[in-house]
Amino acid sequence: MESRFETNANCSRFDESSGDEIEPPFDDHSLQSICLFCPVSFECSKLAFDHIAHKHGVDFIAFCVEHRFDCFSFIKLINFIRAQNVSAANLNETIAKKQWLDDRFMKPALENDALLTFDIEEYTETTTKEKVELNDELNRTLKVYNERLAEIKSEMNSLIEDKYHESSESNINVSKLNSEEDSYYFTSYSHFSIHHDMLSDRIRTLAYKDAIMRNKNLFQATDVLDIGCGTGILSLFAASNECNTIVAVDKSDIIYNAMDIAQENGLLDKIKFMKGKLEDLSLQQKFDIIISEWMGYFLIFEGMLDTVLYARDNFLKPNGILLPNRCTLNIAGVSDEAMYKKYYLFWNDVYGFKMSCMKNEYIKEVGVEVVPAKNVTTDTFMIKELDLMRCSLRETQFIESRFEVKCQKQCRLTAFIVWFDCFFDSDKLEHKVTLSTSPHSEATHWKQCILPLQHSFSVQENEIINGAIEVRRNKKDIRSLLINLKINDKESLTYSMQ
């Protein structure tokens, strides 16, 4: 075995990196430099240690440096080896037992023992310095690699996102659905009951009425486009404001009823009705104002916003305005153990039979119910804001957000709820209006969307809950949604909304 600490004939050691000679340890030749494991003696202690390395297979200096010995530990070990006749083979076992650390082994076991004068700390300090320098260099290198790795991850995420959005725009745009693929959607809006529900929703309808009727100056002498006009109620409001022209578009057969309603109210000459899908119609003009009640559950359910953004990009004048012009999507935690028992725990015992598999069906679907404000047990987190005048189609097709909510009281959290707010608050409007579907506001026909938890859990007042939510189109049915919810980086649930 070769020693890691080489010596020359003069018992000196050199720093190879600098070329400077390190002063050799003081060797009094009246002292004895005798091997630790055999009776052979040497001119100096350094040669003795070289002999131990080559003959007995123990690099004693490296051994002591590795164990970070100071001069006292070094002396005790040498005296212990000599006093107890420890063999080279048993050196590691001797170290482990720690008997050699007793202070009585500070007394020399061999008179005039030159090995005790060897300055082991010189080597320890030098090695430590080298390790520190190496560690610093490794840290610098690691930092560079980590920074580069972060750049690569960012580039990869951008590529993945771009690829996703390319796919989204080419395959998940409802504007590209043909009549056969989209017939069910438009047929569903032909029945009177859905329009009864919407018109009976006073919060919803009066918000639009206020935004239109209380901003008469904005509408006077303007061209207005009403997308998805239904019974034509928004066009009827606009017709009272001395607009220049009003074009009302709907592909559903309900548009024939809208014509009858306009005629019944003496406004048919002020509103031009066009039946068909907006993207397929040939509109020969652009508009100052585009109004539409396009919002679905979870804000973007059914994807009607695609058509509104298409109209914005193709038919809105440069200084035109969308109504509403802005919206937000919000999330909060809920504690409703009665609902949890009714819909989830119910399946544990159904007339004496277990039907646990049915629980999964409940967990898979987004519920739609009015949630009492008293059951909302966290503060609110806004997971998305859309400026409808500027947002891209991409932003509406995939919504992703981390969120953090604080618990307002001690309870069991059973679900999260999501709702939206819409704003008529453009600078062009003298009278601002907010349409809220919050549980803290009067209920609307949209109610709130409920994401039930598979495992309810206890929370404390002021406890912080972290989570992440993704909302994306279902490629198999692009007017429906898939929602993924993660709570505290533990529970992960996927819901569908169809």
Whether pLDDT at 294 is above 90: yes
Q: Which whole number is the average pLDDT over 142-150?
A: 79
What integer pLDDT is reported at residue 168 of this predicted model? 45
The residue length of the chain stands at 498
- Identity of the amino acid at 426: S
Whether pLDDT at 20 is above 60: no
Buried residues in 152-187 as b, exposed as e (16+ CB within 10 A): eeeeeeeeeeeeebeebeeebbbeebeeeebeebbe
Range in 119-123, 150-154, 279-283 with the lowest mean pLDDT: 150-154
Find out whether 384 and 399 touch, Cβ atoms under 8 Å: yes
Whether pLDDT at 342 is above 90: no
Instruction: Look up 137 and say whether it is catalytic.
Output: no
Buried residues in 466-478 as b, exposed as e (16+ CB within 10 A): ebebebbbeeeeb
- Domain boundaries in the chain? 13-118, 183-497
Q: Which whole number is the average pLDDT over 166-192?
A: 53
What integer pLDDT is reported at residue 330 of this predicted model? 98
Whether pLDDT at 62 is above 80: yes
Q: What distance, in Å, lies between the first and last C-alpha atoms of the chain?
A: 75
Residue 354 tokens read as 């277990």
Q: Which whole number is the average pLDDT over 124-146?
A: 68
Give CA–CA dist 244/228, Å, rounded.
20
Of 194 and 384, the structure prediction assigns the larger pLDDT to 384
Give CA–CA dist 293/446, Å, rounded.
12
Helix (H) or strand (E) holding 227: strand 223-227
Give CA–CA dist 245/266, Å, rounded.
15
> What is the pLDDT confidence band of residue 186, given thresholds at 50, 70 and 90?
very low
> What is the pLDDT confidence band of residue 163, given thresholds at 50, 70 and 90?
low
Alpha helices in 365-429 (DSSP H): 393-397
> What is the pLDDT confidence band of residue 493, given thresholds at 50, 70 and 90?
very high
Where is mean pLDDT largest: 179-188, 292-301, 355-364? 292-301
Give CA–CA dist 232/260, Å, rounded.
10
Which top CATH class is 183-497?
A: mainly beta
How confident is the model over 360-410, as pLDDT tens digits? Answer: 888 888 999 999 999 999 999 999 999 999 999 989 989 999 999 999 999
Helix (H) or strand (E) holding 77: helix 71-84
Helix (H/G/I), strand (E/B), else coil: 18: coil
Bridge partner list, 291 = 226, 323
Of 318 and 189, the structure prediction assigns the larger pLDDT to 318
Find out whether 17 and 129 touch, Cβ atoms under 8 Å: no
User: In the chain, what are the helix, strand and coil shares in percent, each to the nearest 5?
Assistant: 40, 25, 35
Residue 182 tokens read as 């989209």
Q: Which whole number is the average pLDDT over 180-189?
A: 50
Whether pLDDT at 94 is above 70: yes
Q: Which whole number is the average pLDDT over 197-209?
A: 94
Where is mean pLDDT largest: 75-84, 114-123, 190-199, 381-390? 381-390
Share of the chain above pLDDT 70, in %: 84
Q: Which whole number is the average pLDDT over 102-130?
A: 81
Instruction: Look up 122 and say whether it is catalytic.
Output: no
Q: Which whole number is the average pLDDT over 273-279?
A: 93
What integer pLDDT is reported at residue 316 of this predicted model? 98
Range in 50-64, 74-88, 180-194 with the lowest mean pLDDT: 180-194
Q: Which residues contact 86 (CB under 8 A, 6 or more apart)?
A: 80, 94
Residue 42 tokens read as 């040497």
Helix (H) or strand (E) holding 322: strand 316-323
Catalytic, out of 302, 361, 369, 461 = 302
How confident is the model over 26-39, as pLDDT tens digits? Answer: 445 568 899 999 99
Whether pLDDT at 180 is above 70: no
Catalytic, out of 111, 137, 147, 293 = 293
> What is the pLDDT confidence band of residue 158, given thresholds at 50, 70 and 90?
low
Buried residues in 99-108 as b, exposed as e (16+ CB within 10 A): ebeeeebeee
> What is the pLDDT confidence band of residue 198, given thresholds at 50, 70 and 90?
confident
How confident is the model over 232-249, as pLDDT tens digits? Answer: 999 999 999 989 999 999
Whether pLDDT at 268 is above 70: yes
Mean pLDDT of the chain: 86
Q: Which whole number is the average pLDDT over 336-360?
A: 89
Tokens 């949630």 belong to residue? 371
- Four-point Cα dihedral 366, 368, 374, 376, nearest 10: 30
Helix (H/G/I), strand (E/B), else coil: 33: strand
Taking alpha carbons only, the member of 388, 393, 394, 390 closest to residue 162 is 394
What integer pLDDT is reported at residue 29 of this predicted model? 54
Whether pLDDT at 336 is above 60: yes
Of 75 and 176, the structure prediction assigns the larger pLDDT to 75
Whether pLDDT at 12 is above 60: no
Q: Phi/psi class of residue 313: alpha, beta or left (left: φ > 0; alpha: ψ in -120 to 50)?
A: alpha
